[in-house]
Amino acid sequence: MSGKPYRLPAGGSCIDRAKSISFSFDGKSLQGFAGDTVASAVLASGQRLFGRSFKYHRPRGVVGLGSEEMNALVGVGVGARHEPNLRATQVELYNGLAAVSQNRWPSLSFDIGSVNNKLSRFFPGGFYYKTFMWPKSFWKHVYEPFIRRAAGLGKAPEERDPDSYEHMHIHADVLIVGGGIAGLTAAEAAAASGVKVLLVDENPVLGGIADLSAGKIGDTTPAAYAASAEARLRGLSNVHILTRTTVVGHFHHNYLMAFERVGDHDPALLAAGAPRHRLWKIRAGQVILASGALERPLAFANNDRPGIMLASAVRALVERYGVAPGKNGVVFTNNDDAYLTALVLKQAGVGVRVADSRARPDGALVQQARAAGIEVNAASVISAVEGSHGVKAVKIAAYRKGQGRVITETRVDCDFVAMSGGWNPALHLWCHNGGKIKFDDAIASFRPNTHGDAIAAIGAANGTMNLAETMNEAVAAGEAAARAVNGKAKASKIKLPAIDEPQRGALEPLWFAPATGGYNEGNKHFIDFQNDVTAADLELAQREGYESVEHTKRYTTFGMATDQGKTSNINGLGVLSEATGKSIPEIGITTYRPPYTPYSFGSIAGALTGKLFLPVRRTPIFQWHTERGAVFEPVGQWRRAYTYPGAGEDKHAAINREILGVRNKVGLLDASTLGKIEIKGPDAAEFLDRMYTNTFSTLKVGKCRYGLMMNELGFLTDDGVTVRLADDHYLMHTTSGGADRISAWLEEWLQTEWTHYKVFVTPVTEQWAQFAIAGPRAREVLQKLESDFDVSNEGFPHMSFKTGRLGAYPVRIFRISFSGEQSYEVATPANLGRGLWDAILDAGREYGIEPYGTEALHVLRAEKGYIVIGDETDGTVTPFDVGLDGLVSKKKADFIGKRSLEQSYLKGPNRKQLVGLLTEDPQEVLPDGAYAVREVKDKPPMEMIGQVTSTYMSPTLGRSIAMALIENGKARMGEVISFPLEGGKVVKAKITDTVFYDKDGGRISA
């Protein structure tokens, strides 16, 4: 016996029988041909079983044709390249491909979870809600692990993904979704007028289901016509074609996402550097949806057995891959289209008969089938399926519309079933951004109605199920789209050939086929295969009062799986319609949400992984920090050196060394991240008076002043030192995190409120590398650096500014301090920064200069009681709350936030105020954010009166210090308050003022 017992001796338009491909499924070596999918090649080998279902672990096989496949989800690839939950019908074969089935344990054919099927009376619709409710403690230890284990379909790989992904942006005048006959024809019609056309199709080849369609276009088959249309389009420079690309979402203003599988089908491409997936972000002027239709399953007893497939999928299996679905099958249908499948099977030499639920089917295809000798049972349904891992036989019962019971039935041996309940237009993209739909009795489905965007649906996506109308719609839509783009009305350039297609009889909806025996767990009519929702579940939901379809959806999980209800939605509505006596339009339809099909996380992330995950901002000294072994700290997107541990030194020791270095000798800090903004113009001084709480119009040229900024709510939002460079020219410093925000803030007020001010604001943060040289020996270091200006204490006092040179380095230098020590901030152009940094270290070596990081900086400032915006403030703190009343002007009539400070809610008596804290045990460091309570109790709740905002072990003082915002804090000096910590411990601390070190401030101006 050959390895592929179901491969037909001839045929298969997609495969190349000369190219054999080796692959494996669940570890078993198999052979297929180039052009096969995993589904076709595995089916060719005789294997039907592809996985186990989600809830009941029922054996499942391939049902569909392409992206609508809901059962045959496989994991593909090994190790880091493993990707779970791929539809076997879409995975193209390549040499060495390794696929595995999912949701089975320990093996596919014997699965322990399938006991759920036997117990299914305990798993009715809504079982999650009914079962996993109580007791609460069971959630963590019993229910959740159970659900996780039982529900996990595929397994995510544990290693890092070795492949690359990317995004691409594209603009198209006309985007056409779907490359079947409709899409190709619309593309030709649109492209004829020269507009830029993008045609996107999710399959490897264009043509849609032209190859599975009957009829003639001109004198060729639909497939040959599609091929010629494609060739014409590929010859045009204004047409771009993307294959293996699924448009997964439609958003506002015709913005669409499309997911391209660039390298999945060919490892050689990946090895050559291709991205595995590419996510296209498309902006289209006009969108034409030619996304086709999806065939509906029929709801009959045990309609989920492996070997029961959609009629179109069976047809594709034979026509495209030369694979027989079995030896002998039954086509079960309520429409004419499935007769094509019967004819194809017959021609391929596969046994076939038809059960048609309609009383008198007599369309052209029906007649052809009869003429070909195919037995057709009209007014018949399948009432039972025998076999669990496959189909052994079915029972065909007489059926009359409205009849719920089986009266007579005939057993028919067969090993597969091809079912067709009609076709649903693929409405998903139409609905993503609010398109309206209407029910059409002729197709027993919804079709597009109106849409607010420039989007049109044509062909099967529009519910038009015949070739001639489809092509007319396509030409009209293509030309209308082009006209909408270029404004010109042109006579039609597209001459359509004559179309000859079989006359079709009407479809009659069949939402539920009566079953042999009782209507219970032995007889499941599956509606949503992927989430294991049956007709009985939907009816139960109705009986339990879930009248709205959206409630039913959530209660039963119907339509909520990754297939987004592609095959199940309308069938479910049909069942609900019969259960309630309401029409389907009255019931309504649940919301279609993006994505149309799942797309990879890799494609969503694109290139932005690893080093690109988040933009990291580097100061000019970044390399030095790295080489010095700095521990980095994120400050906004900046990476700042937190501390520089030496060999064998831990972080705490390093921070203490750095702090004492500044206090006793001299330290060097990279402060390049500080925001710097030049502000110039005749109204600059008045403008700054509006922006700051304090006054800058009185600042003398060459002097610095610390300023506070509030937002309009009266809350602190930024602070920093601003220097007056000239009468009409200031240089503002902001916090590192506030640089962009504050320059935008200044611009906003200038442009929107004080539009008459003549002021220019130019951010220059990154022009300068800026360093703090701080400590009692700072001046000596500066002197050694060949300054061309007076650095004496008298000539360069605290809060003054100079421009000059240190050797060949041009500098701006500020005598300002955030450490409480004598301190100079030196700025030099960024590209000279590293050179100057090295020079300062050289000059400072003999004074014992210590580079220090941001943590030392924070401790140094806390020892002095200086606030940090974002530590002492949280967006609800006023200048009064932090004791900076003196910096809030009483003279200025207006500045940002002033009026809000007078609002009643900010003047209440119990505001929290900033205080210092000294713990009773000096070695005890309060945790950051610890809460003070009014009264300690045995257990919560306890009334909270404030919280710690900054807390450190101060090496300078040899004890812990902290700052806190405490209710009425200023009036409570000396009071001891309690901080209950986790675990029952209570830390007591005395309220003090916030300045812990050098209270008279002598060191700063020394």
Partner 1 sequence: MLVVTCPVCGAEGDETDFHYGGQAHVRRPATHDPANISDEEQRDYLFIRHNPKGLHFERWRCDRGCGKWFHAARDTVSMEFKAFYGISELPPEELQAQAKGPWADYFKSRAKA
Partner 2 sequence: MLESKFESPLAHRQSAAETYVDIREVSERGMIDLRGQPGDKKFMAAVKDILAVDLPKAPRTSATWGDIRVLWLSTDQWLVTCPRHRAEALTQELTAALQGIHSLAVNVSDMRAVIRLEGERAREVVMKGSTLDLFDGSYVPGTVRRMRFAEIAALLSILEDAVIEIYVFRSYADYAWEFLIKAARKGSEVALLAPEAKGAA
List interacting residues with partner 2 (CB under 8 A).
Answer: 164, 166-171, 194-196, 237-238, 240-242, 269, 272-275, 278, 281, 283, 607-608, 611-612, 614-620, 623, 637-638, 678, 680-682, 729, 758, 760, 762, 764-768, 785-786, 806-810, 829-836, 838-839
Q: Which of 490, 899, 934, 937 binds partner 1 (CB under 8 A)?
A: 899
- Least distance (Å) between residue 869 CB and partner 2: 21
Complex with partner 1: residue 712 or 838, whichever CB lies closer: 712
Complex with partner 1: residue 248 or 791, whichever CB lies closer: 248
Decide which of partner 1, partner 2, none touches 713; Cβ closer than 5 to 8 Å per partner kind: partner 1
Most distant pair of Cα atoms in the chain: their distance: 113
**146 phi and psi angles, rounded to 5 deg:** -65, -50
How many chain residues interact with partner 1 (CB under 8 A)?
Answer: 23
Complex with partner 1: residue 269 or 454, whichever CB lies closer: 454
- String of contacts with partner 1 for each residue 129-168, x by CB under 8 A: ----------------------------------------
Contact 422, 335 (CB under 8 A): yes
973, HSE (Cβ side, Cα atoms, 13 Å): 5
Complex with partner 2: residue 177 or 427, whichever CB lies closer: 177
- Measured CA to CA, the distance from residue 14 to residue 82 in angstroms comes to 26
User: DSSP assignment of 547-569, as one string?
Assistant: -SHHHHHHHH-TT-STTTTTTTH
Note whether 255 binds partner 1 by CB under 8 A.
Answer: yes
Decide which of partner 2, partner 1, none touches 252; Cβ closer than 5 to 8 Å per partner kind: partner 1
Note whether 898 binds partner 1 by CB under 8 A.
Answer: yes
Decide which of partner 1, partner 2, none touches 619; Cβ closer than 5 to 8 Å per partner kind: partner 2
Note whether 613 binds partner 1 by CB under 8 A.
Answer: no
Q: Are strands 499-500 and 526-528 parallel, antiparallel or unpaired?
A: unpaired
Contact 460, 440 (CB under 8 A): no
Span of 251-259, 511-519, 938-946, 991-999 interacting with partner 1 by CB under 8 A: 251-259
Decide which of partner 2, partner 1, none touches 900; Cβ closer than 5 to 8 Å per partner kind: partner 1
Contact 404, 273 (CB under 8 A): no
- Measured CA to CA, the distance from residue 823 to residue 1006 in angstroms comes to 10
Distances (CA, A) of 44 to 39, 325, 407, 883: 8, 8, 38, 81
ω before 106 within 30° of 0 (cis)?
A: yes
Collapsing DSSP states into helix, strand and coil, what is residue 485? helix
Which single residue is written with the structure tokens 């029929």? Answer: 298
Within 434-453, the residues that bind partner 1 by CB under 8 A are 452
Q: Which two structure tokens, joined as six digits, stand for 642?
A: 């937190």
Complex with partner 2: residue 764 or 942, whichever CB lies closer: 764
Note whether 903 binds partner 1 by CB under 8 A.
Answer: yes
Complex with partner 2: residue 486 or 503, whichever CB lies closer: 486
Decide which of partner 2, partner 1, none touches 959; Cβ closer than 5 to 8 Å per partner kind: none
Complex with partner 2: residue 694 or 770, whichever CB lies closer: 770
Note whether 633 binds partner 1 by CB under 8 A.
Answer: no
Complex with partner 1: residue 138 or 754, whichever CB lies closer: 754
Complex with partner 2: residue 768 or 796, whichever CB lies closer: 768
Q: Are strands 823-829 and 809-814 parallel, antiparallel or unpaired?
A: antiparallel
Decide which of partner 2, partner 1, none touches 678; Cβ closer than 5 to 8 Å per partner kind: partner 2
Contact 555, 129 (CB under 8 A): yes
Decide which of partner 2, partner 1, none touches 452; Cβ closer than 5 to 8 Å per partner kind: partner 1
Note whether 283 binds partner 1 by CB under 8 A.
Answer: yes
Note whether 893 binds partner 1 by CB under 8 A.
Answer: yes
Note whether 224 binds partner 1 by CB under 8 A.
Answer: no
Q: Give exposure, 183-203, as e/b (b: 16+ Cβ within 10 Å).
A: bbbbbbbbbbbebbbbbbbbb
Give the Cβ contact number of residue 544 at 10 Å.
15
Contact 630, 778 (CB under 8 A): no
Collapsing DSSP states into helix, strand and coil, what is residue 44? helix
Contact 897, 711 (CB under 8 A): yes
Report the run of H or E that residue 151 belongs to, with start and end: helix 144-151
922 contact partners, CB below 8 Å, separation of at least 6: 958, 959, 960
**647 phi and psi angles, rounded to 5 deg:** -60, 130
Decide which of partner 2, partner 1, none touches 238; Cβ closer than 5 to 8 Å per partner kind: partner 2
Complex with partner 1: residue 520 or 751, whichever CB lies closer: 751
- Measured CA to CA, the distance from residue 698 to residue 689 in angstroms comes to 10
Give the Cβ contact number of residue 27 at 10 Å.
8
Decide which of partner 2, partner 1, none touches 196; Cβ closer than 5 to 8 Å per partner kind: partner 2
Decide which of partner 1, partner 2, none touches 272; Cβ closer than 5 to 8 Å per partner kind: partner 2
Q: Which of 251, 601, 613, 760 binds partner 1 (CB under 8 A)?
A: 251
Sign of torsion over alpha carbons 704, 705, 708, 709: negative
- Least distance (Å) between residue 176 CB and partner 2: 14
Complex with partner 2: residue 838 or 885, whichever CB lies closer: 838
Decide which of partner 2, partner 1, none touches 748; Cβ closer than 5 to 8 Å per partner kind: partner 1
- Measured CA to CA, the distance from residue 632 to residue 96 in angstroms comes to 45
Report the run of H or E that residue 338 belongs to, with start and end: helix 338-347
- Least distance (Å) between residue 76 CB and partner 2: 21
Distances (CA, A) of 371 to 172, 346, 355: 49, 12, 16
Give the Cβ contact number of residue 816 at 10 Å.
22
Complex with partner 1: residue 748 or 846, whichever CB lies closer: 748
Complex with partner 2: residue 306 or 620, whichever CB lies closer: 620
Q: Which amino acid is at 702?
A: G
ω before 267 within 30° of 0 (cis)?
A: no
Span of 135-143, 297-305, 822-830, 900-908 interacting with partner 1 by CB under 8 A: 900-908
Complex with partner 2: residue 533 or 679, whichever CB lies closer: 679
Contact 511, 299 (CB under 8 A): yes
Decide which of partner 1, partner 2, none touches 194; Cβ closer than 5 to 8 Å per partner kind: partner 2
Contact 656, 644 (CB under 8 A): no
ω before 941 within 30° of 0 (cis)?
A: yes
Complex with partner 2: residue 610 or 958, whichever CB lies closer: 610
Decide which of partner 1, partner 2, none touches 984; Cβ closer than 5 to 8 Å per partner kind: none
Q: Which two structure tokens, joined as six digits, stand for 139?
A: 């959630």
Complex with partner 1: residue 122 or 754, whichever CB lies closer: 754
Note whether 891 binds partner 1 by CB under 8 A.
Answer: no
- Least distance (Å) between residue 267 CB and partner 2: 13
Decide which of partner 1, partner 2, none touches 836; Cβ closer than 5 to 8 Å per partner kind: partner 2
Q: Which amino acid is at 950?
A: S
Contact 470, 464 (CB under 8 A): yes
- Least distance (Å) between residue 440 CB and partner 2: 36
Complex with partner 2: residue 162 or 810, whichever CB lies closer: 810
Contact 590, 553 (CB under 8 A): yes
Collapsing DSSP states into helix, strand and coil, what is residue 946? strand
- String of contacts with partner 1 for each residue 735-764, x by CB under 8 A: ---------x--xx--xxxxx---------
- Least distance (Å) between residue 361 CB and partner 1: 45
User: How are the residues of the chain apportioned to helix, strand and coil, as percentages rounded to the nearest 5?
Assistant: 25, 30, 45
Within 702-721, the residues that bind partner 1 by CB under 8 A are 712-713
What does the binding site for partner 1 look like in residue numbers (CB under 8 A)? 251-253, 255, 283, 452, 712-713, 744, 747-748, 751-755, 893-894, 898-900, 903-904
